[in-house]
Homo-oligomer: A and B are copies of this chain.
Amino acid sequence: MDYRFADRVKMFKSSAIREISEIIAKGNDVISFAGGFPYEPYFPQAELEQAFDKVFASGKSSLQYGMTSGFMPLREKISERVKAKGIQAAPVEVLLTTGSQQSIDLFSRIMLSPGDVVLTENPTFLAAVQAFESYEAKVIGVQSDKDGMDPEDLAKKLKEYKPKFIYVVPTFSNPEGKVWSNERRVALLKLAEEHNTLILEDDPYGELQFNAEETYTPIAAMDTEKKYVIYTSSFSKTVVPSLRVGWVTGPQPIMKVLTQIKEAADLMSSPLNQQALYHLLNDFDLDGHIRMLCQQYHQHMLVMQDYLKKLDSCKWVEPKGGMFIWLEVDENIHATELLTKAVPHGVAFIPGAPFYVDSPRQNTMRLNFTNSNPERIKLGMERLTEAFQQAMK
């Protein structure tokens, strides 16, 4: 049988990360700095169990179908939480999704026709690019440095490509773990306004901030007329991933169409999980929990960084939050080859090349520091050091 797939299927790529996972799976007792997983012992399991108990105690109607846009009391909680970041989003302007990935996908679906352009940083979040390309869009990278997109190159590419939107992860980005400066955020929004172009601000890591004194204003908070920025985040990094609860908010005309397509896509995400999360937010000091996570992950990062300092010809920007260190290694080292040497030593990471939209740099890699505790990070970094030394010979 010759299956006549849709044209867009030609654009589907097997995820490079999935292929790398297969290499990693072949090793024994591998300490993985590869994925973007949170550390399980920090999960608020008992509190979440209590939250589920409350849902069950509230009666059988809690197990029925819910609204496409999500459980209203949770939308109200999210409205309050984003308000604390300066983002004005009424509860009716918050759409609950099955995580940020679905927010990105649904927004792409309502915006992108074949051939449309999306501007991103380069490198950028791989799975977002997969979603854009699955709608036959063209993804163009904008030149960036440690402070964010270069406004000059952005202006040039806005003019040249007339993109449907600009996709950014400005706070503790994936894969680079960097944070945009305030100036660059202002410049991005100004250019978007001038070119009548939307911004998709993906902020899954924004709350994992190591220094509580600093302030990183979401671009959505700067868009005071609520015209240009679509903002998405989730509870996967701050509560637990397995609930699959994320949200998206933005200009009202966008939210209306997003809700229509959410209905066609899957009717609704789990009302049960949304209710449980509501009770958790009500009864549990999530902000205190997040402060604990920030302190712990900061320690994880510092332990990892101490080993990097001992390595030759490595460059990185110390992360101010999030889950990743982005490493630039000696030009003679090919990160994928290094990975094949590292796995037999019992350690793994993700080579940086797959995150590039174009001109991949083979001597880059992404190290996650949230999935292992400091002891395991030490052991993993010792192993990685050995693999490095072998590669440099």
Contacts and interface: CB of A to CB of B under 8 A. Distances in A.
A242 B272 contact: yes
Contact of A111 (B5, B112, B131): B5
Chain A interface residue bracket vs B? 35 or more
Interface stretch (A151-159, A255-263, A335-343, A381-389): A255-263
A56 B56 CA distance: 15
B52 A64 contact: no
Contacts of A254: 3
B265 A102 contact: yes
Interface string A38-57: 10110101001100110010
Nearest to A103: B266
A131 B260 CA distance: 10
A195 to B, nearest CB: 12
A263 B130 contact: yes
Contact of A265 (B105, B113, B164, B264): B105
A14 interface: yes
A316 interface: no
A111 B6 contact: yes
A217 interface: no
Given A6-B135, A8-B109, A243-B272, 10 more contacts: A6-B116, A14-B260, A45-B60, A63-B240, A97-B266, A98-B269, A109-B134, A127-B267, A134-B264, A273-B273
